């Protein structure tokens, strides 16, 4: 019987939990996580994450895994250590905060020098090479993930591509592990670590650029009193353009696009560019325009319907609606919020209304980044740019 490969996955977010769970079908996986509550949930084959397919997978599949907060116990015998910890963008330093990733690398090298460290966390271009030099090893590589929130199991099972930032023997073994969990014959691209890091940032910046393009098309339509839906449908009918990532919003937001576009811009440093900066600026201009329309309206009480970036999400991080809220607050507009995922009475210094009917009655105008049938009875009050309104 084949001995199971010992793998440690650091971080119990969407990336780490879904990848670890899938690898645990044929391998011996340990989740290393500092949050004891998340560890306890995993030990009981549960997760705090809001993805039904992931919850079902953990509960129903026969998996070999454990969870721990103990570095030494988790790392000592692992052949692969997959780092899936957050790297938030630090506006002051104009760079990702890679401190947690660096700590994990340091501890892994101290405890287990033979393990291949695979960075899945999004990092600046050149970070992995810097870590290789610092720790005097090639046993640190970068392999980006391309997951959508709420679709982590599906996107790991049917990946668009596998990118490996190394071509050494251990990196090729790791690529085989990823291919084993894929349900299709996924192409693997081997390249330098810095090139793999660039693939991640350029991919997300292209998506942000596409979102921004259709948002600016919609802004043009607003000024000209044109029907955005007609124009976008006509443009997207061209197969070279395609009918995707084309539904207007209040701006792009979420875990990745805002921070990854800023990081790529920072990585250009002294390299001449115009487009990357324009993508970052376009998102702010869009929020300025939407906010201005609301500020100039006669509405006294502005209702914010949900803070999340998209339907079915509880992720508020960098959501575009929060940028709108900041602008409305600065203009002294009265604002109330309806967000079922909030368990507090105030948010950003604003009242949170728990009763949906009261929220609708109190609001003179309701801002909804994404349409909902629940707002059908007050649709005359609703302001949204979700023109395709797919529930």
User: What is the DSSP secondary-structure string of 73-129?
Assistant: HHHTT-SEEEE-----EETTTTEE--HHHHHHHHHHHHH-TTSEEEE-S---TTHHH
Query: Is 377 in the same domain as 298?
Result: yes
In this prediction, residue 226 carries a pLDDT of: 98
Q: Is residue 298 part of a domain?
A: yes
Q: Is residue 388 part of a domain?
A: no
Q: Is residue 391 part of a domain?
A: no
**Do residues 187 and 162 touch, judged by C-beta distance below 8 A?**
yes
Q: Is residue 389 part of a domain?
A: no
Domain enclosing residue 70, as ranges: 6-191
Q: 28-32 and 334-338: which strand pairing?
A: unpaired
Rg (the chain; Cα; Å): 23
Instruction: List, by residue number, the catalytic residues.
Output: 256
Q: Does the structure show a pLDDT above 60 at 1?
A: no
Each residue of 174-229: pLDDT tens digit?
999 999 999 889 999 999 999 999 999 999 999 999 999 999 999 999 999 999 99
In this prediction, residue 236 carries a pLDDT of: 98
Query: Is 248 in the same domain as 155?
Result: no
Q: Is residue 330 part of a domain?
A: yes
Give, in order, the Cα–Cα distances in Å from 201 to each of 144, 215, 264, 302, 304.
9, 21, 6, 36, 31
Query: Is 241 in the same domain as 162?
Result: no
Question: Sorting pLDDT into bands at 50, 70 and 90, what band is 301?
Answer: very high
Residue 163 sits in a domain whose CATH number is 3.40.50.720
Query: Is 178 in the same domain as 271?
Result: no
Round to whole Å and give the CA distance between 280 and 74. Answer: 40
Each residue of 75-87: pLDDT tens digit?
999 999 999 999 9
Q: Is residue 58 part of a domain?
A: yes
Query: Is 245 in the same domain as 262?
Result: yes
CA dihedral 290, 295, 299, 304 (to 10 degrees): 50
Each residue of 233-284: pLDDT tens digit?
999 999 999 999 999 999 999 889 999 999 999 999 999 999 999 999 999 9
Q: Who's near 99: CB < 8 A, 6+ residues apart? A: none
Query: Is 154 in the same domain as 254?
Result: no
Query: Is 211 in the same domain as 248?
Result: yes
Query: Is 116 in the same domain as 93?
Result: yes
Query: Is 32 in the same domain as 102?
Result: yes
* Domain end position, chosen among 171, 191, 211: 191
* Domain end position, chosen among 191, 222, 240: 191
What global pTM score does this model have? 0.94
Query: Is 187 in the same domain as 255?
Result: no
Query: Is 177 in the same domain as 208?
Result: no
Q: Is residue 110 part of a domain?
A: yes
Structure token digits, residue 305: 């319907």
* Domain end position, chosen among 174, 191, 208: 191
Q: Total domain count for the chain?
A: 2
Query: Is 177 in the same domain as 219?
Result: no
**Do residues 47 and 16 touch, judged by C-beta distance below 8 A?**
no
Q: Is residue 137 part of a domain?
A: yes
């Amino acid at each position: 019987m084949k001995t199971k490969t010992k793998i440690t996955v650091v971080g119990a977010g969407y990336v780490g939990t879904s990848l670890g769970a899938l690898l645990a079908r044929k391998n011996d996986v340990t989740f290393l996580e500092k949050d004891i509550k998340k560890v306890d949930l995993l030990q009981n084959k549960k997760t705090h994450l809001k993805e039904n397919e992931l919850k079902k997978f953990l509960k129903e599949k026969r998996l070999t895994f454990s969870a721990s907060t103990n570095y030494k116990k988790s790392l000592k015998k692992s052949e692969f250590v997959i780092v899936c910890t957050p790297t938030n963008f630090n506006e002051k330093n104009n760079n990702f905060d890679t401190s947690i990733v660096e700590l994990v690398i340091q501890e892994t090298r101290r405890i287990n020098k033979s393990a291949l460290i695979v960075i899945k966390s999004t990092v600046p271009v050149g970070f992995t090479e810097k870590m290789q030099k610092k720790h005097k090893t090639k046993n640190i590589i970068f392999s980006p993930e391309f997951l959508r929130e709420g679709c982590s199991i599906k996107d790991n099972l049917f990946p668009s591509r596998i990118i490996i930032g190394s071509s050494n023997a251990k990196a090729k073994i790791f690529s085989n592990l990823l291919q084993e969990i894929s349900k299709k014959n996924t192409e693997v691209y081997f390249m330098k670590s810095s090139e793999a890091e660039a693939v991640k940032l350029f991919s997300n910046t292209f998506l942000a650029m596409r979102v921004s393009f259709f948002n600016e098309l919609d802004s043009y339509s607003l000024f000209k009193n044109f029907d955005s839906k007609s124009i976008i449908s006509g443009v997207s009918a061209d197969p070279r353009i395609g009918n995707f990532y084309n539904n207007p919003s209040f701006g792009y937001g979420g875990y990745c696009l805002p921070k990854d576009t800023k990081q790529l811009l920072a990585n250009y440093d002294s390299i001449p560019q115009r487009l990357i900066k324009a993508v970052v600026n376009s998102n702010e201009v869009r929020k300025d325009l939407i906010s201005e329309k609301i500020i100039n309206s006669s509405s006294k009480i502005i209702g914010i319907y949900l803070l999340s970036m998209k339907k079915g999400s509880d992720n508020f991080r960098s959501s575009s609606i929060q940028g709108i809220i900041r602008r409305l607050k600065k203009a002294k507009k009265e604002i109330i919020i309806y967000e079922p995922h909030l368990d507090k009475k105030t948010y950003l210094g604003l009242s949170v209304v728990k009763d949906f009917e009261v929220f609708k009655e109190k609001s003179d105008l309701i801002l909804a980044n994404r349409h909902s049938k629940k707002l059908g009875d007050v649709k005359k009050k609703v302001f949204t740019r979700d023109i395709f309104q797919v529930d």
